[in-house]
Amino acid sequence: MAKIVQTAVEIADAEGLTAVSMRRVADELGFTPMSLYRYVPSKDDLLELMQDAAAALPPGVTLADMPGGWREGTRWWARQTLAMFRHHPWFLDIPLSRPPMGPNHVRWMESFLGAYADTGLSHGEMMGVLQLVSTYTLSAGRIELNLTQASSQTGVAPDEWDPIYGQLLAKVIDPAELPMLARTLRSGVFDTEGTDPADDVEFGLEIILDGVEALIRRRQDD
């Protein structure tokens, strides 16, 4: 089973998710497609196994490396998740059909919840924070993937888009109708080329963590 999943992951890493099929995996392993179904009932099952395999930490990194404290722990958790998306971008092409059940995924859940054990949040609130951070990293990962794909098609790097976008906006907006956007353009916020999109991700993560901190303080004051 592990070899089947590993082969499928290697195909997806090299050629993208569309290259993965039961027949292709069987061919790579020297099986017939029908014999593969004895181990993996369907392609959907294979995709689920691939996602869990991708969620394994890279060599030399373990969940024990997660920093103490809920805030630093959440930062580490989110950054490791985003790093996994960059290493296995096809992961983001698989629709979410049900909550993750694989062993690697549930270990990630355990590590996240453990960081909040002494915060005073209820178990429901801890799960809510987990869902919030998971949703944010998924969204950030998909946007980063889309920008990377657009870059390969246009030749414009993701960190070069801000000045281009600012110039295009300046041509089409009416300052009388959209005064705040016009003021934002005049501030020069879009003028800097070379802004790392990862900085925007970190900014958003810190805003989320500030909100979580406010919730924790309220609970500890109750």
pLDDT of residue 109: 94
pLDDT of residue 19: 97
Task: Compute φ and ψ for 87, nearest 5 degrees.
Answer: -75, -30
pLDDT of residue 195: 62
pLDDT of residue 62: 82
Q: Can you say whether residue 120 is alpha, beta or left, with left for phi > 0 and alpha for psi between -120 and 50 degrees?
A: left
- Tell me the domains of the chain and their CATH numbers: 1-55 (1.10.10.60), 62-155+192-221 (1.10.357.10)
SS (H, E, C) the chain: CHHHHHHHHHHHHHHCHHHCCHHHHHHHHCCCHHHHCCCCCCHHHHHHHHHHHHCCCCCCCCHHHCCCCHHHHHHHHHHHHHHHHHHCHHHHHCCCCCCCCCHHHHHHHHHHHHHCCCCCCCHHHHHHHHHHHHHHHHHHHHHHHHHHHHHHHHCCCHHHHHHHHHHHHHHHCCCCCCHHHHHHHHCCCCCCCCCCHHHHHHHHHHHHHHHHHHHHHHHHHC
pLDDT of residue 193: 62
pLDDT of residue 192: 74
The tokens for 137 are: 């990293």
Q: How deeply is 188 buried, as exposed, middle or buried, from its count of CB atoms within 10 A (0-12, 13-18, 19+)?
A: exposed
pLDDT of residue 161: 79
Q: What distance in Å separates the CA atoms of residue 115 and residue 68, rounded to the nearest whole number?
A: 7
Q: What is the pLDDT along the chain (222 residues), one digit of tens a residue?
A: 899 999 999 999 999 999 999 999 999 999 898 999 999 999 999 999 999 999 998 888 888 888 989 999 999 999 999 999 999 999 999 988 778 889 999 999 999 999 999 999 999 999 999 999 999 999 999 998 888 888 888 887 777 878 888 899 999 999 999 999 999 999 988 887 656 667 889 999 999 999 999 999 999 887
Q: What does pTM read for this prediction?
A: 0.87
